[in-house]
């Protein structure tokens, strides 16, 4: 299992619109690609969000990054051209307890 995480630090005034867009459009569009088994959307503070995308393998993640991410990132950037700082990280599951 590979987890791809995207963290958004959002200007407070934009936070409600960003959260609504993520939940109502952006994440459902990503899930519809079939590249991920599960997607989690979390909020740490009023203006900090994290989305965790779980892919079964590197091939699925690579397919997303190559075939779908450029278009979806551009659409997000067009909708929110300023006020959102995005960081991306790739995590590989090593072991699970419990």
Q: Could you tell me if 49 and 80 are in contact, meaning their C-beta atoms sit under 8 angstroms apart?
A: no
Q: Could you tell me if 39 and 5 are in contact, meaning their C-beta atoms sit under 8 angstroms apart?
A: no
CA dist., res. 35 & res. 43, Å (int): 23
**Which residues, 6 or more positions from 88, have their beta carbon under 8 angstroms from its beta carbon?**
4, 5, 6, 7
Give the pLDDT score at 1: 87
Give the pLDDT score at 86: 97
Is 2-92 assigned to CATH 3.30.70.100?
yes
Give the pLDDT score at 85: 98
- pLDDT means per 10 residues, the chain with 98 residues, are 96 98 98 98 98 96 98 98 97 89
């Amino acid at each position: 299992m590979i987890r791809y995480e995207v963290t958004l630090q959002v200007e407070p005034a934009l936070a409600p619109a960003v959260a609504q867009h993520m939940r109502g459009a952006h994440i459902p569009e990503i899930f519809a690609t079939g590249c991920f088994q599960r997607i989690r959307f979390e909020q740490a503070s009023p203006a900090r969000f994290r989305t965790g995308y779980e892919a079964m393998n590197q091939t699925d993640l690579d397919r997303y990054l190559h075939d779908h991410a450029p278009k979806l990132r551009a659409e997000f950037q067009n909708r929110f051209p300023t006020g959102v700082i995005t960081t991306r990280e790739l995590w590989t599951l090593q072991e699970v307890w419990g």
